[in-house]
């Protein structure tokens, strides 16, 4: 202890200071160090949980992005299929409309042809009656006698009916 005396340190004060320091360290460790360590451990745990949650959120975002891309791709395929189907339907409708229009045009042409044929036949019949009437009048004037109108018409009609048959043979 003499060495302590030479250094100007009182042994008794040194022991008391050492005991006080040990008691202070024990009290600080019990009342301050443990709560601080507990708080730091809790904070580290929360940080780990936050990191795990962030990683899970990042994975969810990546999964949602993949799902969105898949959905977008399938939607694009569906739209393309719908457009193809719509194009085919439009072409079919156009083809049907064209066919219907052609059929309608043929029907109109056929109807017009039949009407023209009927009008021609009617005109020919009218012309025959007129020619028969004119022939009867001409014959009356030529022979200056009057046969009955029905007999003349019958005679002229018979003559005209024979004319196309003779023209067909020639």
Q: What is the pLDDT of residues 51-99, one digit of tens each?
A: 999 999 999 999 999 999 999 999 999 999 999 999 999 999 999 999 9
pLDDT recorded at residue 144: 47
| Residue linked to tokens 């042409």 | 109
pLDDT recorded at residue 140: 67
Question: Is residue 145 predicted with pLDDT exceeding 50?
Answer: no
- CA dist list (Å): 67 to 59, 61, 63, 64, 76: 12, 10, 6, 5, 14
pTM over 0.95? The answer is no
pLDDT recorded at residue 14: 84
Top pLDDT among 157 and 136 is at: 157
Beta-carbon count within 10 A of 136 CB = 20
> How is the chain split among helix, strand and coil, in percent rounded to 5?
95, 0, 5
Vertex 164: Cα angle to 163 and 169 (nearest 5): 100
């Amino acid at each position: 202890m003499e060495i302590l005396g030479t250094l100007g340190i009182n042994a008794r004060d040194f022991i008391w200071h050492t005991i006080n320091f040990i008691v202070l360290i024990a009290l600080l460790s019990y009342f301050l160090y443990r709560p601080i360590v507990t708080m730091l451990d809790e904070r580290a745990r929360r940080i780990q949980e936050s990191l795990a949650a962030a990683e899970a959120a990042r994975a969810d975002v990546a999964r949602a992005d993949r799902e969105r891309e898949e959905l977008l791709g399938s939607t694009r395929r569906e739209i393309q299929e719908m457009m193809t189907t719509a194009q085919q339907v439009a072409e079919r409708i156009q083809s049907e409309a064209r066919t219907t229009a052609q059929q309608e045009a043929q029907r109109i042409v056929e109807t017009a042809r039949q009407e023209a044929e009927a009008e021609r036949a009617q005109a020919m019949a009218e012309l025959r009656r007129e020619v028969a009437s004119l022939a009867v009048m001409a014959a009356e004037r030529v022979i200056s006698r009057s046969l009955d109108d029905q007999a003349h018409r019958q005679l002229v009609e018979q003559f005209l009916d024979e004319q196309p048959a003779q023209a067909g043979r020639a």
